[in-house]
Amino acid sequence: MADHDRLSPFATNENSFDRVAFLQTVASLSIYKQEALRQFERNLPNGAMILDAGIGTGIDLPALERMVGSRGRVIGVDTNQELLDVAQQLCLQENLTRVSLYDADIHDLPFPDDTFGGVRIDRALQHIVDPQRAIEESYRVLKREGTIEICDPDWELLSISHPDSQLTARIIEYKREQNIQNGHIARATPTLLQAGFNEISTIVIEDTFTSPEQVKAFLYLDKLLDDMVRMDVLTQKEADEWLKQFDQQNVGNNVLCSFTTAITVGKKQ
């Protein structure tokens, strides 16, 4: 399947996909963000100007503004106007006076060389056309010894508990290889950073889910199965039966899904 035909919600203009609701769900169910923000702050100079590239709904902006203090500034960019509007409303509600938002493409940032003390790219490289170009642009706008932090899911470690292990493996493979623009980017990121960055390190954070509803919301599972049926990868009967069995699993403390995010940090040489 060609890249432009991939079904990733962030690589399509499909109107039925509620990007705002999806991003808010991901943020509310993920624990990796706490560690990612701690790692980023640990590597920032006082009063830094930082770039959040691909801000989504802007959920990290309050924490980032606190991070930079009274002498710093936060710049957020995204290309989706709906998400920028939500982020702008958040800035007004939280009185984020040291945050500025721009409609800008991560592949071609409208900022001079050596502008920022830190750049964050959180769950964005998996969805964009050219991750290497985005990293090159981040390098360009970073000051010398500035910090880059990139967070993306390691889709190769996605695990879903289900009685039908073979069909589940097909669903996971489809999610990684067809539904995500760059399904292997988490493992490729350290290598991409070797051109221009040093002190590269990666940690992994595992989220676990015990509720079928959590899993369906986090993976947008109903839509994924609908897409697989539409693309003739599954029959409607297979999709319905798989979902029925998944919903019937005993919840309690049983882990129904585990999901790993890689947090990679580097310094501009």
Instruction: Please give the residue range of the domain that contains residue 144.
Output: 3-154+183-207+260-268
Query: Within a domain: residue 118?
Result: yes
pLDDT at 7: 39
Residues (pLDDT < 70) of the chain are 1-17, 22, 28-29, 250-253
Long-range CB pairs of 9-12, under 8 A, 24+ apart, other chains included = 9/220, 9/223, 10/127, 10/181, 11/127, 11/181
Structurally, how many domains does the chain consist of? 1
pLDDT at 200: 98
Taking the model in full, what pTM does it have?
Answer: 0.90
The residue assigned the tokens 């980032």 is: 64
Query: Within a domain: residue 232?
Result: no
Find the CATH number of the domain harbouring 193.
Answer: 3.40.50.150
Query: Within a domain: residue 160?
Result: no
pLDDT at 29: 64
Assigned token pair, 163: 């009685």
pLDDT at 6: 39
- Separation between Cα atoms, residue 176 and residue 79, nearest integer Å: 24
Query: Within a domain: residue 148?
Result: yes
CB 50 within 8 A of CB 120: yes
Query: Within a domain: residue 61?
Result: yes
CB neighbourhood size of 35 (10 A): 15
